[in-house]
Amino acid sequence: MVRILPRSRSRSLRVLLIWILLELIAGGQVRSRSGTALGSWLHAVVSPVITAGRVLVHGVQNLSWGFGNTWNLVSENTRLREALAAQRARTLVLENSLHIQNEADHLVVHYPGFVTHGRIETCLVRNLDNGLMKISGGWSDGIHRDAPILAGLGVAGRVIRSGPHSSWVELLTRATAAVAVEIKDSGIPALAAGTGTSSLRIEYIPRRAHVLKAMVLTTSGADGIYPPGLPVARITKVREGNGPFLEVRATPLADLGRIHVCLVLVDWPQRRPGERMP
């Protein structure tokens, strides 16, 4: 049974078909910027959507490429920072080695008569608050208790405890430290005692003694520990007190806070009283 469409609907269908036909004809005549035919009205309608999709895909690709490059930059930056830290560490090691070599050379030049009777050792730990320093070398290297320690321009202290491969040194500034000294070129005997600070207290200098600031104190050898004639400290303060002795303060000639290496006198020969450092 054939179903007959109403006349109005049939007319609308014919109009739609004619419109589609005309659109197809018009679409075939439309040209792009390059001069090629668009082909159909459907292509003309869909083309902007396709173009927008391509732009979106291209944008997503660029965004992904940007994220990838950012990650690569972050990784490269991390690698460069690690390389810089390693280079700084190597630089510090080289600087420390240079300081050690320079100080060792200085000790050889400054104490030529004692180098053959000592060992140059490295400072491992330094604690100025406690007045202690740990050095490489112990009794297996011939370092014994009370071995004198020289560093920089003067006496730094003495060994108070020796282990197999390291030793502890009592610095001059420790409150329990004391060195028998005398004023250089005058022979006035005294005792340089530690104060727990950066200075030394010089005791038993008579009030009548001629003592001035900047005078140098050297070891007298009276304590039986340090060879005579070694530089110890420089006088920084002289004041007359109520007692029979002057109140004198001095600063060690050895820079105790910057010791990298030291000369340990392990086998220095005994000297006669009054005999000086060679």
Span 74-109, pLDDT tens digits: 888 999 999 999 999 888 888 878 877 888 888 888
* In the predicted structure, residue 278 carries a pLDDT above the cut 70: no
* In the predicted structure, residue 32 carries a pLDDT above the cut 70: no
CB atoms under 10 Å from CB of 64, counted, come to: 10
* Long-range contacts of residues 267-274, Cβ cutoff 8 Å, at least 24 apart: 267/117, 267/118, 267/142, 268/114, 268/117, 268/118, 268/148, 268/227, 269/117, 271/221, 271/227, 271/228, 273/221, 273/228, 274/228
Fold of 117-265: Thrombin, subunit H (2.40.10)
Higher per-residue pLDDT: 6 or 169: 169
Residue 272's pLDDT band (cuts 50, 70, 90): very low
> What pLDDT is stored for residue 254 in this prediction?
94
**Of 87, 173, 93, whose CA–CA distance to 133 is shortest?**
173
What is the reported pTM? 0.66
> What pLDDT is stored for residue 38 in this prediction?
52
> What pLDDT is stored for residue 251 in this prediction?
97
Mean pLDDT of the chain: 84
Residue 93, amino acid: V
User: Exposed, middle or buried, 216 (CB in 10 Å: 0-12/13-18/19+)?
Assistant: middle
